[in-house]
Each structure stands twice: as structure tokens, then as C-alpha cells.
Amino acid sequence: MKDDSSLFFIYEQQLEQLAQAQQMTYLYGGRGVGKSTFLRRLAQRLGPQDVIWIEGDDWFAARQRLAEIDPGDLKLSKHLIIDDLDRFCAVGYDREGDKFEEMINRLDELFKRLTAPDRQKRVYAAGTRKPQFFINGRDRKPESAQRSPWWQLFWSYIDMSWNHVLFNPWELGWKQNLSDWIEKRFAVAVQEPVWRLWAKLTISLTGGHPSLIKAALAGLEHLARGEELTPVEKKLRSPFDVNESDERWLQTRHYLEDCLVQTGLNRLRRALQSLWTISQSSRPEVAGFLTRLAQDEPIIPPYDVREILIDHSVIYLDAESGSYQIPGDLLKNEILHLFPPSEDKAQITVQPDTAAPQRRGTMVLQVGQTPMPIRLNGSTWRLLSLLHQQGGQVVSLDTLQKKLNKTEYGVRSALQRLENKLKEVGADHLLENQRGKGYRFRSE
């Protein structure tokens, strides 16, 4: 277990609190937000000799380690830390199916034995996804989840009985904390304009993403030490005047980008590649929302898309603006490179269901090669069909009531439902309300 104590650690306060937390704690958050580093720090705080450490990402090694532990051993009195518990369980289920129940029962017994009153030890487990993800069977086919009640009981136990901690570094005042840390760390080694430039660029390039911050600060540590530097690196840590500020900004930015691309960005690139695969197979709307967020559009993706993007740790909710954002300029550029914005105009197709064209249908919003379908039924579908048939002309509320055979309240409810559906693909601007006149559906 490597100790990263030399680098900025955003979870210092949480570390102190969780070292004295309730007996069982489940830590969750997107990939790359620093859960593994936190657990390593926690193990150091608790004492490595008093900790059973299990690396859930290595399924075979974790399975063997758990098989070696006898939960009933009265001499067993250590804290238990399991990193990537969700991945360990998901891989185990995929490999062994219902045979994996034996390992789940062993885990469950181990949790309860270690935290019993006569031992008073703590159990910490980390995962990317919430327990509800597994309880609801969203990781596999519904019929598979129904055949495995022990699986749902295990995750329900974690959901109901454990203390839960969400890892979100962007809620912790990271900008000021990081700037203060850089000042404290580097003010002795370099002059103020230099470390202030380092702080500004680290903030703008990383956007607070722990994986990127770690790589950037490793590069700055190398500069600050002043040992075995190239001529360019020596210049980057030397003082500069106002006339050189633009040039120095660009040189330092390029240096930090190189540090980030070589190390910190690799993990995020794997996450982006996974998102690209998702967008090409099952969820094409993911690409559209990701591209628009990378272009700084103030949009709120629908819940299921947000869950996917947050799991991959490529978006976060900014507390000040209330909007979802992508952390850092470097990650935005990577996204726009992998998901280039389409210059094509959006195309809208309204397709009635062949079996029941009056009761349901689909509107497909396509931008370039990315189709985003919206399935509608009932009065919401009839409302969309009616507005679309008018070719962009305004339709009064009275006309809508007559055509749909609905009260004013019923029409307004259908309009609200339609607007919410359009919002799911970021197209709520297509439904326009002209005050005092009525509503129209814009076809572009």
C-alpha cells in the first residue's frame, strides 16, 4: 500500500471523521475520485498491522484471501477494508452465478463477526455504484436478479444497516483548498508569481479531478525540488516579469498538460472509451449530452444519463451554479476530440406505432449520427402529433382542448409531460409557448 502523503489530499477532514465512524461504512463515488487513496490513508491511520486489506479489483486474489479467513476465529480481531467491493461482487456473480452465494455468506458473516460487541472492529468497503444499483438488478437481467434473493438481501443489508459516504471532491471547496496547499508547499521554493501561476493552471486544467490533480502536483513537485531539471524546467521555476507573463503561462500550461496526459489522463481515457462504447451500442444520447456539457451548455441530463456520467466521474454538480459541469479544460478537450460536435442540423422524425398509431409513437431527434428517441403514449403522444402536423404554426389552447377532448387542466398536464420528455434529450426549447396565443412545435 503506497502512501501518497506528499501530495494534496482533499479528504483530510473526512479521513479524521471516518477513522472514528460507525462500525460499518460504505464509501461510493465515481471512478477516479480518490476512494482507493482514501482507503490507503485510512489503513495507515488505523495501523497497517491491525487491518485486513482486500483489493476487490483483483478478483482471484480477493477470493483467495477471503477463503483463507475464518470468520469464526476468536483470535481474529482486525479492521477490514475492501476496495472495489461492488466490482468484486459483480465479477464473482458473472463468473459463478448462484455458486457465488457461499462467498457472499462468508463476507456477510465476516462483517458481523468483526463488528460484534466483543471485538468492536470497523469494516470499510468502497464501490463506484450505490447499493440500490444491485438491489434493483440494474447490473443484470431482471430474471437473473429474481433467481438470487441472497444477492439482494446482501446489498439490502449494506443499504439499510451501514453508514454511507458519498465521495464528491467538488463539494469541499477544492479551489481554495488547492490554492492554499500550493502556496504552503511551494512558496519557499519559488517566488509568488510563479506559484500563483502554477495554482491557476492546475485549477483550470484539472477542474478538481483527483486523478488529474495528483499527476499535476507530481510534476510541480519535480519543478520545486530543482533537481535534475532540463533547461526548460529550470526556466519554468525561475522568476518572470510582466512582459513575459503570457509566454510563461503558455510554457507552464504545456508542461502541465504533458504531465497530465502521460499519467493522470490515462484512467479517464479508459472511462471515455467506455462511454463511447455505450453511446455506440445502447445509449446514443450519452454522446450528445457529453458533447454539449463539454461546450459549457447549462443543461441538466436526465437521471439515468447523469448516473452513467457520474459513475465514470466525468461530470459533477457545481454547487454555486447548480449546473452539471465537466472538470477541467483538459478533460473537455478529450471529450470533444472523442465526441466531435456535429455541424449537421438536428432532424426530427415523428413515427406513430404501427399497431396503435392513435395511442403511442416515437419522436426521434437526430444530430449527425446520434439518434435520440423519445417514446410517448396517450394524450402526450396525441398532443405531439397534433402540434407537429401544424408545421410550426401556433395552436390555441381552445383548439387543443377540442382536438384532444380534454379540459384545460388536462391539456396543460399533457404539455408539461411533453416538455419533461423533451428535456430528457435537451430539446425542451422545441415546445414554444406564445403568451396569449397558444403553443407551437418548432421542427428545427
At 107-164, the pLDDT tens digits run: 999 999 988 888 888 999 999 888 888 887 654 444 444 557 888 889 999 999 999 9
Amino acid (one-letter) located at 276: W
Q: What is the largest CA-CA distance in the chain?
A: 81
In this prediction, residue 426 carries a pLDDT of 64
Amino acid (one-letter) located at 320: E
Query: Does the pTM of the predicted model rise above 0.75?
Result: no
397, 408 in Cβ contact below 8 A? Answer: yes
What region does 426 belong to: left with phi over 0, alpha with psi -120 to 50, or beta?
A: left
In this prediction, residue 254 carries a pLDDT of 92
User: What DSSP assignment string belongs to 55-90?
Assistant: ETTSHHHHHHHHHH--TT-TT---EEEEETHHHHHH
In this prediction, residue 139 carries a pLDDT of 47
Question: Which alpha helices (H) appear in 312-374, and where do they start and end?
Answer: 329-338
State the burial class of residue 409 (Cβ atoms within 10 Å of its Cβ: 0-12, 13-18, 19+). Answer: exposed
Q: Distance between CA atoms of 366 and 156, rounded to whole angstroms?
A: 40
Q: Distance between CA atoms of 324 and 19, rounded to whole angstroms?
A: 31
Q: DSSP letter for 444, please.
A: -
> In this predicted model, what pLDDT tens digit does every residue of 257-293 receive, in sequence order?
998 988 888 878 888 988 998 888 878 888 888 998 9
Nearest to 125 by CA among 223, 213, 58, 26: 26
Q: What is the mean pLDDT of each run of 10 residues along the chain (444 residues)?
A: 60 84 86 88 90 92 90 84 92 88 91 87 90 69 56 90 89 88 92 94 93 91 91 92 89 92 84 89 85 88 87 86 88 89 69 82 72 81 85 86 87 86 72 84 71
279, 257 in Cβ contact below 8 A? Answer: no
In this prediction, residue 360 carries a pLDDT of 84
Structural domain boundaries in the chain: 12-167, 168-341, 347-441
State the burial class of residue 278 (Cβ atoms within 10 Å of its Cβ: 0-12, 13-18, 19+). Answer: middle
Query: Could you say which of 3.40.50.300, 3.50.50.60, 3.40.50.970, 3.30.70.270 is the CATH number of the domain covering 12-167?
Result: 3.40.50.300
Q: DSSP letter for 22, please.
A: -
The CATH classification number of 347-441 equals: 1.10.10.10
